[in-house]
Amino acid sequence: MKRLVLFAISAGLATICGAQVQGGIADVAVIDRDTGAVLSPHFFHGEYWVAGRPGARYAIEIRNRLGERLLAVTSVDGVNVVSGATAAWDQTGYVFGPGERYQITGWRKTDAEVAAFTFTDSPNSYAERTGRSANVGVIGVALFRERQPQPMYAPPTIGQSSGRAPAARAAESDSAPSAMQTPLTSSVPRAAAVAPKLGTGHGEREYSYVNHTEFLRMQSQPNEVIRIRYDSLDNLFAMGIIKRPRPAAPGANPFPASPEQQYVPDPQG
């Protein structure tokens, strides 16, 4: 597999405490940047959903759980967040060092700027404004492990013995990924929504610096794919993904005509 030039993280890492979608090799969380809240994922019919707040800026936080580098090809509404191309696994992404955590806060514009992710009505989303409305409302992270350099075997010189047989060279892996999820299919009736579907807008420019690096993938397909769908809280209520809290019943006094029992009052002052 040829080497690809990819974006590498060099900005400060953020820390979250709260709900996240935990994968085998990475964790993914969606964060409301205006409030700092981590959006709680709700598991429904085999998919994770979060409730976005219309108008809010948000970030996708990814944490590498491995002790090695990891490539995260990330898409929002079916669009690659780095290149703006219709998303595919073999495209560019962000490279994470061992154990690193980082927030992807917008559409990459240059090595130093992004256009902020914002929750907005789907007609105003970047995907729909660029003629790609079919996958509005989904965040995807395709995770790739790095191919490690093969050990070099130096044969023994004449007249000397190594005392052991040379190790066999590891074969290139072309097996299917171990943690792949099924393709996106929706079992939620969209007619149940009561408000416009949420998408992700092309917000204001913000500073976000990256470097470039090379990354050789272990295999052509992702080792793991994490998918999170999102919509407004009202729509998640309407679709039955989140249950509306029951209103508390008003208090009832069984003896309304009787005076309440009195105790010693506090002194004034």
pLDDT for 154 equals: 63
Counting as low any pLDDT under 50, the low residues of the chain are: 1-18, 159-189, 191
pLDDT for 186 equals: 44
pLDDT for 132 equals: 96
Give per-residue pLDDT as tens, 199-246. Answer: 999 999 999 999 999 999 999 999 999 999 999 999 999 999 988 877
- Tokens in use for 126? 């970047």
pLDDT for 121 equals: 96
Domain ranges of the chain: 4-150+167-238
Give per-residue pLDDT as tens, 235-269. Answer: 999 999 988 877 777 777 787 788 777 778 788 87
CA–CA distance, 49 with 40 (Å, rounded to integer): 8
Torsion of CA 204, 210, 213, 218, to 10 degrees: -60
Collapse the DSSP code of 43 into the 3-class scheme (helix H, G, I; strand E, B; otherwise coil) and give the result: strand
Neighbours of 133 (CB within 10 A): 17
Closest to 198 (Cα-Cα) out of 28, 35, 58:
58
CA–CA distance, 233 with 208 (Å, rounded to integer): 29
